[in-house]
Amino acid sequence: MSLKITVYSKSACPQCESAKMLLKSRAMDFEEIKIDDEAERLAFYEKCGPSVRQMPQIFINDQRVGGLAGLQAALAQLGR
């Protein structure tokens, strides 16, 4: 089954780099969308929900799984 993975990240973000390295280490394709502008990032957080205030935000098949810990949990659940 092919997964559509989108990683919303920002520059100089250790958690973002860790999430991307995890996906690369498992040879999983993903699209990265960098949001370095503060105003754009705040608007993005608003769309995600009231509890979202950090990067990365990762979506698998258009469902938000959260940050690095969410990605790890989702991959374990998917058996990847």
Q: Report, as an integer, the average pLDDT of 64-71.
A: 96
The predicted pLDDT at position 29 comes to 97
Contact 75, 26 (CB under 8 A): yes
Q: Is the pLDDT at 66 greater than 90, yes or no?
A: yes
pLDDT in tens, 9-49: 999 999 999 999 999 999 999 999 999 999 999 999 999 98
Question: Domains of the chain, with CATH numbers?
Answer: 5-78 (3.40.30.10)
What is the rounded CA–CA span in Å between residue 7 and residue 74? 14
Spell out the residues 6+ positions from residue 35 whose beta carbon is closer than 8 angstroms to its own: 8, 9, 10, 41, 44, 55
Torsions phi, psi of 19, nearest 5? Answer: -65, -45
Q: Is the pLDDT at 1 greater than 80, yes or no?
A: no
The predicted pLDDT at position 2 comes to 86
